[in-house]
Amino acid sequence: MRAGMSYFHETIWKGVPKFLRRVDTALKNIGINERIPYNAPLIQFSSWMGGDRDGNPRVTPEVTRDVCLLARMMAANLYYSQIEDLMFELSMWRCSDELRVRADELHRSSKRDAKHYIEFWKQVPPNEPYRVILGDVRDKLYQTRERSRHLLANGISDIPEEATFTNVEQFLEPLELCYRSLCACGDQPIADGSLLDFLRQVSTFGLSLVRLDIRQESDRHTDVMDAITKHLEIGSFREWSEERRQEWLLSELSGKRPLFGPDLPKTEEIADVLDTFHVLAELPADCFGAYIISMATAASDVLAVELLQRECHVKQPLRVVPLFEKLADLDAAPAAVARLFSIDWYRNRINGKQEVMIGYSDSGKDAGRLSAAWQLYKAQEELINVAKQYGVKLTMFHGRGGTVGRGGGPTHLAILSQPPDTIHGSLRVTVQGEVIEQSFGEEHLCFRTLQRFTAATLEHGMHPPVSPKPEWRALMDKIAVIATEEYRSIVFQEPRFVEYFRLVTPELEYGRMNIGSRPSKRKPSGGIESLRAIPWIFAWTQTRFHLPVWLGFGAAFKYALQKDIKNLHMLREMYKEWPFFRVTIDLVEMVFAKGDPGIAALYDKLLVSEDLWSFGERLRTNYEETKDLLLQIAGHKDLLEDNPYLKQRLRLRDSYITTLNVLQAYTLKRIRDPNYHVNLRPHISKDYQESSKSAAELVKLNPTSEYAPGLEDTLILTMKGVAAGMQNTG
């Protein structure tokens, strides 16, 4: 959380008003003299850090509470550090009557407490009305910050809530008053300076800096409901049909009586879910964004969360967002959402707006990249049609990863390849931890990221991409089935695959290291299906084989070309004219340009038992065939011939990454086989060796490691180095 928040502190806080000024200038250049209203923020930020408990035992209700308070404290501190600059600037005495009356009232009632402030620590004279009003704002910001700090440290604060800002309207009101007064007195250029930037920051970041989204798995809500129905002795919620569940949930939502009391028998897991809802009830409503249900499958998943919010007295219930991830869930999503919209109680609750999240990572892991991309495309089209039927404005929330295997890719292309009508000027996208630095690490990167999202969203609305022709759809439907069959036959049905994967990649070692933000598996005992999408992709990236990205494409295209030679012409036409298909192929081609089956063969030779070598060989043959077919469809002789700039960058990086790969392969061999010795040429001069400490002491970097000296550090450095070198978003 602290690491993530540092991006707001360092770049995003100042980056947003700068970017909005740039948009104002762009509008002016085309003859529109209106500014973007400060109270209609173009871009808003939410965060999952400390709210995403999906299988992560470290995100507890206490952590969620602390994260919210820390963010509020940081927001108040950032405003507080800027308010004195505004007080310096607004020294004028000429103001509107409305402002003068307010300033006089404040001046009479204010008691100056001198100890907090470096500047303006004496009482501001009444002939500086703007400073009087901003001085009051400053006092309240100070109290807001201190109250959050006390609550964070001790759980209680002696500063009363009414001495602080409790909602953003209270905070905006005196600032808007100053803005109106300046404009009325002919000082608009001053109003449109730092005061406008400040107003825009308040509208974008509010009092909570970022709204925290809560994410929990649907199964955990089912457990709670099951415990309640058993306690009430009306049966087992888990065993009921979907119709029965919906009927019971709706009757409870329409009723008034409480559902359970303090005597409900709770396991640790159930207490954790309910305590999370109590935190939502306890903290100010503007701390939170959406409640996201991962692995959602049906309407009852959403209604269960609505009921739990009511039962735990959440004053302003969070909007509930189902997340559809696996292929079958994406297929069933439109029907589940249609069922929700057909319920009168639910339609009244959402007020014409709904958000649906679609998951790229787990769908890709479940069925392969080609089928997942196509299923996501179709699900979005159908969801938009359902929303239109019921007159609901639907916002799609794209759960993209950083890497191509997890739905990542250049922002501009990714947005432009979405189906027509699915964006409508608004969308939500995740910026994953592994790429946040590339998007927001420096001020100019932050500016470019905001620019890309805005430009692509506008372009998608003004020049919607073409809809695919019926024959293109028919062909995609056929080849997607073949791609899924091929992918699943190897990943889930090949008996030796799991063993091969564990041996050839650093997956097991990765799971033991403190690199990720959560455990690498949802269920510690499970196989590939329980492995999280990040380590699944990360492990294959390390060996430069990228199997989850391309597996299935080869079989699909081979089938299409053997079925009918005319299909080659149609696939090439799709590549030229249909942005979705082109982006999908280009991204896989880019991944092939970063791959290296020769490196993968080295990992095979060193780490895999001999009886599995033939399996590795088979996969590498498949890799080469897929690459050739891909080039044929794109009409390219060579990988990345359309992108010489990226090709050159990859060529420059290659020798460094290859060195790291070789180091990593031999390090893994030594970790797994302590008797294996690599004969290294001495690289430290004899004089140095004799005069200094022993070599064993030199490599004792990580004294807590369970491995031989230096091996874990080498492994972490090579892992991070290879990941950075791959820059998998392109």
| Contact between 8 and 209 (Cβ < 8 Å) | yes
Copy the structure tokens of residue 454: 């805005």
- Burial (CB < 10 A; 0-12, 13-18, 19+), residue 613, is middle
Q: Determine whether 365 is an active site residue.
A: yes
Give the CB-side neighbour count of residue 52, counting CA atoms within 13 A: 13
Closest CA to 209 of 44, 442, 375: 44
Cβ-Cβ contacts under 8 Å for 307 (sequence gap 6 or more): 225, 249, 252, 253, 259
Q: What's the chain's Rg over C-alpha atoms?
A: 29
Q: Which of 165, 166, 160, 161 has the alpha carbon at shortest distance from 138?
A: 165
Contact 357, 301 (CB under 8 A): no
Q: What is the dihedral of CA 565, 567, 570, 576, to 10 degrees?
A: -90
SS3 (DSSP) at 531: strand
Helix (H) or strand (E) holding 427: none
Half-sphere exposure of 163 (CA within 13 A, CB side): 13
Element (H, E) at 643: none
Chain-centroid distance, C-alpha 333? 21
Q: Which two structure tokens, joined as six digits, stand for 497? A: 């695959």
What DSSP state is assigned to residue 293?
Answer: E
Decide: residue 102, CB within 10 A, 0-12 exposed, 13-18 middle, 19+ buried.
buried
CA distance 619 to 496: 13
Instruction: Please report the sign of the dihedral spanned by the C-alpha atoms of residue 326, residue 331, residue 335, residue 338.
Output: positive
- Measured from the Cβ of residue 453, the count of other Cβ atoms closer than 10 Å reads 19
Which structure tokens are listed for 148?
């959050």
- Rounded to whole angstroms, how far apart are CA atoms 240 and 327? 24
CA distance 298 to 300: 5
DSSP state of 372: H
Please count the other Cβ atoms lying within 10 Å of the Cβ belonging to residue 244. Answer: 13
Residues 226, 265 contacting (CB under 8 angstroms): no
Query: 570: helix, coil or strand?
Result: helix
CB neighbours of residue 463 within 10 Å: 10
196-205 and 168-184 helices, crossing angle to 10°: 160
What is each CA distance from 266 to 109, 221, 233, 274, in whole angstroms? 52, 13, 15, 9
Active-site entry in 140, 365, 378, 627: 365
Neighbours of 708 (CB within 10 A): 13
Three-class secondary structure of residue 264 per DSSP: coil
CB 266 within 8 A of CB 304: no
SS3 content of the chain, % helix, strand, coil (to 5): 65, 5, 30
- Which amino acid is it at 236? S
Pairing of strands 353-359, 46-47: unpaired
Q: Of 285, 300, 370, 287, give the one whose Cα is nearest residue 550.
A: 370
- 637 vs 7: CA distance, rounded Å: 42
Specify the 3-state DSSP secondary structure of 529. helix
User: Active-site positions?
Assistant: 365
